[in-house]
Amino acid sequence: MLYSNKDLKKLILPLVLEQFLAILVGMVDTVMISGVGEAAVSGVSLVDNINILVINITAAMATGGAVVAGHFLGQKDSESAGKAAWQLILFSSAASVVIFLMLVAFHRPLLYAIFGNVEAEVMSSAVTYLLITAISIVPLAVYNSCAALFRAMNGAKTTLMISILMNAINVVGNAILIFGAGMGVAGAAIATTVSRTVAAIAIFGMMFQTDRQIHIKGRVDWHINVRLIKKILYIGIPNGVENSLFQLGKILLLSLISTFGTYAMAANAVCNTLAGFNILPGQAIGLALVSVAAVCIGAGDFEQARYYTKKLMLIAVISIAALSAVLIGFSPWIMKVYHLSPETEQLAIQVIRYHAVLAMLIWVPSFTLPNTLRAAGDVVWTMFIAIGSMWVFRIGASYVFHNNFHMGLLGVWVAMTIDWAFRSICYCLRYRGHKWEKFFR
């Protein structure tokens, strides 16, 4: 077998901790920025939606590069894996420079086009935060690329250590610049930018260490290798389109939820945070599955790819079920932490319990399983299923439930789980056959 239980544990546990850290630090960030004022929180929140779109693009390219490098590792071709790694870093850096220049040049039209005529103070905070954090787009692209490559060679512990460093710098920087220097939103943006840059430099330097399965020492070539880039983009572009449209759809749903009233918006915000913890193991295992399946497929062993897919999905289901049980049983006490009004608290409990039940039943086949298909190169089909299901069921059904059945916030979450169910059916049917295996080349 290509992976022992020890290998899987070594890969998955750091990824779970890394995902947990990201959510936790995000919550701490919000609390720190809230000390500046509501306009600051609103401005940063607006820009974060744009930043997530950018992160999705760089992460999609990183996934494409990691899959290609993983295929080469499965073929015992470390030389080609290293070349693919360098091409990924080079191309993603160049693409992120273009994104940076576009954001700087068109930042105001972009913000007004997406978010309309918000208050002047909110827009001022948004502009400041966007312009400063835009500087970190290139380092972030480098970091995402290298982190994906480390996961491909079972080096998730390294990415966890770098993530701890990055988040520590971010939190300490926030404390010093926001509260100590009184720099407000600019301080938060500078802390984020510095932390990403330091993390990128650290992990990029490690890519030159020759004792690693994938390294770039002696493989730096400033010419674009069209053959390798085509392989990377074949997986990266559909993945990026899927993730970006998914985020855009979530932004549209937020605009619908805002019409339900303040209590519904507050309940949705709390439930989003708790739902993030609920599915955290599944997201981490999904990242691990991309690497594991890519190596198995690269070795031409689809039986092992299926074996590890089943095994990792089972672990994900058990983990999510355990967290779901906690949320179902203790949600009334968990809600007390947020000091919600009785109406908001009751709605939040209803929504998160519904999510917890459905998450342990159908989340894994709808989001973890397709990573095996993507690792084989079956990316266009998964993209169309994800986009179609998102816009027809998650968005379309949300409006139907609101307009025809007056279900409010719960209707949006019910529509989301219908999206999950449709994806699960499609991905399971695709996986049961062998057509996806023929995409590897």
User: Does 88 lie in the same domain as 26?
Assistant: yes
pLDDT 10s digits, 255-312: 788 788 878 888 888 888 899 999 999 999 999 999 999 999 999 999 999 999 999 9
Examine the pLDDT at 116 and tell me if it is beyond 70: no
Q: What is the pLDDT of residue 19?
A: 85
Would you say residue 115 has pLDDT above 70?
no
Q: Identify the band that residue 23 occupies on the pLDDT scale cut at 50, 70 and 90.
A: confident
Asked if residue 243 is part of any domain, the answer here is yes
Residues 285 and 216 in one domain: no
Lowest mean pLDDT among 45-49, 124-128, 355-359, 403-407: 45-49
Q: What count of other Cβ atoms lies within 10 Å of the Cβ of residue 158?
A: 19
Domain check: are 214 and 352 in the same one? no
- Residue 37 pLDDT > 80, yes or no? no
Q: What is the pLDDT of residue 59?
A: 87
What confidence category does residue 47 fall into, taking pLDDT thresholds of 50, 70 and 90? confident
Same-domain pairing of 273 and 350: yes
C-alpha 373/C-alpha 274 separation (Å) is 29
Closest CA to 253 of 129, 412, 363, 109: 412
Q: Are residues 195 and 245 in the same domain?
A: no
Specify if 230 maps to a domain: no
Residue where one domain finishes, among candidates 198, 224, 250: 224
Helices 302-335 and 342-358: crossing angle in degrees, nearest 10, is 160
Which pLDDT score, from 0 to 100, does residue 269 have?
Answer: 80
At residue 12, does pLDDT exceed 90?
yes
Q: For residue 231, is it within any domain?
A: no
pLDDT of residue 217 exceeding 80, the answer is: yes
- Higher-pLDDT residue of 328 and 154 is 328
The pLDDT, as a whole number, for residue 106 is 85
Asked if the model's pLDDT at residue 349 lies above 70, the reply is: yes
Q: b/e per residue, 346-383, with b = 16+ CB within 10 A?
A: ebbbbbbbbbbebbbbbbbbbbbbbbbbbbbbbbebbb
Whether residue 339 sits in one domain with residue 217 = no
**Residue 83 belongs to some domain of the structure:** yes
CB 263 within 8 A of CB 351: no
Residue 339's pLDDT band, with cuts at 50, 70 and 90, is confident
In a domain, 232, yes or no: no
What's residue 117's pLDDT?
66
Mean pLDDT of 328-333: 95
Same domain, residue pair 168 and 273: no
CA distances from 99 to 111, 282, 394 (A): 15, 30, 29
Which pLDDT score, from 0 to 100, does residue 181 have? 82
pLDDT attached to residue 260: 86
Question: Which of 265, 384, 281, 285 shows the shortest CA–CA distance to 326?
Answer: 281
Q: Are residues 156 and 97 in the same domain?
A: yes
Q: Which residue has the tokens 């700087």?
A: 104
Same-domain pairing of 176 and 274: no
* 165 lies in the same domain as 255: no
Handedness of CA 87, 93, 97, 100 (dihedral sign): positive
For residue 233, being part of any structural domain is answered with no
348 pLDDT tier (thresholds 50, 70, 90): very high
pLDDT tens figures, 121-164: 778 888 888 899 899 999 999 999 999 999 888 888 899 999 99
Q: Do 378 and 265 belong together in one domain?
A: yes
Same domain as 436, residue 339: yes
Q: Is the pLDDT of residue 38 over 70?
A: no
Q: What is the pLDDT of residue 261?
A: 83
pLDDT digits (tens, 9 = 90+) for 375-396: 999 999 999 999 999 999 999 9
Tell whether the model's pLDDT for residue 202 goes beyond 90: yes
Answer yes or no: is 92 within a domain: yes
Of the three residues 165, 195, 224, the one that is the final residue of a domain is 224
**pLDDT greater than 90 at residue 182:** no
Burial class (CB in 10 A: 0-12, 13-18, 19+), 272: middle
DSSP codes of every residue in 298-345: HTT-HHHHHHHHHHHHHHHHHHHHHHHHHHHHHHHHHHGGGT--HHHH
**136 within domain boundaries:** yes
- What confidence score (pLDDT) does residue 120 get? 75
pLDDT at 393: 96
**Residue 156 half-sphere exposure, CB side, CA atoms within 13 Å?**
24
Counting the structural domains of the chain, the total is 2
pLDDT bracket for residue 441 (50, 70, 90): low
Query: What does the chain come to in residues?
Result: 441
- Residues of the chain with pLDDT > 90, as a percent, come to 57
The pair of three-digit structure tokens given for residue 213, joined into one six-digit string: 């399965």
DSSP string, 346-401: HHHHHHHHHHHHHIIIIIHHHHTTHHHHHHTT-HHHHHHHHHHHIIIIIIIHHHHH
State which of 224, 252, 282 marks the end of a domain: 224
User: Regarding predicted confidence, which is higher, 181 or 11?
Assistant: 11
Could you list the residue range(s) of the whole structural domain that residue 420 is in? Answer: 238-441
Q: How far apart (Å, rounded) are the C-alpha atoms in residues 424 and 363? A: 8
**Residue of higher predicted confidence among 74 and 112:** 74
Choice between 39 and 8, residue whose per-residue pLDDT is larger = 8
